[in-house]
Amino acid sequence: MKYREFTSVTSGTVAVPDRTRLVHLQFRRFAGCPVCNLHLQSIVRRHREIVDAGIREVVVFHSTAAELQEHTAGLPFAVVADPDKHLYQEFGVETGPRALLNPRAWPAIIRAIGRTIASGEPLPSGRARNGRLGLPADFLIAPDGEILAQKRGEHAYDQWTVDELLRLAVATAKV
């Protein structure tokens, strides 16, 4: 992967790859996506462990920076707006009805909507830019730009857990 800098809506510019540590590049869905937020809260809770493992989190949404602003306050990692889905295309991140129709996603969808309502967090807009059928994807990128591992989600809540990410970081360090 070639070196580039992105503008983060949460933390200025972010380099990918990072020249001194691994990058966990996550592709999420749209600003305010309850399912994405459910997953990102697991990242927030364990962010110190992730950083201590030498990993930098960079999360991409197919929304505008303005749309993301209301949903990203307090996130301790870089969030990048890609409303025209250039990065999604470059990395082959897909969209499809299986994002929501796969029964394995349904428990997470129910938990996510319930959590959003209970917490009083802002609900996503009724019309998401680029739709609601995006699939998640994860990439672990070495400082030299090599993609060490990747996962392309089969449904809306199919991504690496923090434990899987940490195991991958350890495994790739031994290679």
pLDDT in tens, 25-81: 999 988 888 888 889 999 999 999 999 999 999 999 999 998 888 888 889 999 999
Domains observed in the chain:
4-173 (3.40.30.10)
C-alpha to C-alpha distance for 175 and 169, rounded to whole angstroms: 10
Q: How far apart are CA 167 and CA 110, in angstroms?
A: 28
pLDDT classification of 13: cutoffs 50, 70, 90? very high
Rounded distance, CA 129 to CA 162, Å?
28
Question: Strands 137-141 and 22-27, how do they pair?
Answer: antiparallel
Closest CA to 121 of 31, 55, 16: 31
* Res 168 pLDDT > 90: yes
Task: Please give the share of the chain, as a percent, with pLDDT higher than 70.
Answer: 90
Alpha-carbon distance of 44 to 24, in angstroms, equals 14
Q: What is the mean pLDDT of residues 137-155?
A: 95
The answer, yes or no, to whether residue 107 has pLDDT greater than 90, is: no
What pTM value is reported for the model? Answer: 0.87
Of residues 70 and 154, more confidence is placed in 154
Residue 143 scores a pLDDT above 80: yes
The confidence score (pLDDT) of residue 106 equals 76
- pLDDT beyond 90 at 16: yes
